[in-house]
Amino acid sequence: MIFLTTADVREISTKTRFEASTKRVGVWHSIGCEVPGSFNNLQLGQASLRNPEVYILNLTLPESIGPGMPGRLFLNPSNSDPD
C-alpha cells in the first residue's frame, strides 16, 4: 500500500502500520509537492518503507521505489472546491 501525502504528513500512524503488518501488507510513504514555478505540476519524493518487518519475516527484500518525474495534476476548475 502506498500513501501519497503532502509535506505536512510526516508519519503513517502506528495503528495503520500495525494493521497492515498483521495482514502482511507493506506500507510505503511518499510525499508529493508542487514543482516550484509551475501550475499543477507535481513531483513525488522517494517512497520509504514504513514496516520492513513484513518483508523480513517473509524472507524477501523489497525493491526501492525511487523519486518520480514531474507530472501534471489535472483538476476540474469548476469542481475544485469540495464545499
In this predicted model, what pLDDT tens digit does every residue of 27-69 receive, in sequence order? 999 888 888 887 777 888 888 899 999 988 877 877 766 555 5
| Number of domains the chain is built from | 1
* 55 domain residue, yes or no: yes
Q: What is the pLDDT of residue 65?
A: 62
Show the cell assigned to 83.
464545499
The residues, ordered by sequence, that sit 6+ positions from 61 with a Cβ below 8 Å of its Cβ are: 55
Of 17-21, 32-36, 57-61, 72-76, where does the model show the most confidence?
17-21
What pLDDT, on a 0 to 100 scale, did the predictor assign at position 50? 94
For residue 76, tell me if it sits in a domain. no
Residue with cell 518487518: 53
80: in domain: no
Provide the residue range defining the domain that includes 24: 2-67
Q: Which ranges of the chain does DSSP label H, i.e. alpha helix?
A: 14-22, 53-57
Predicted confidence at residue 78, as pLDDT, reads 53
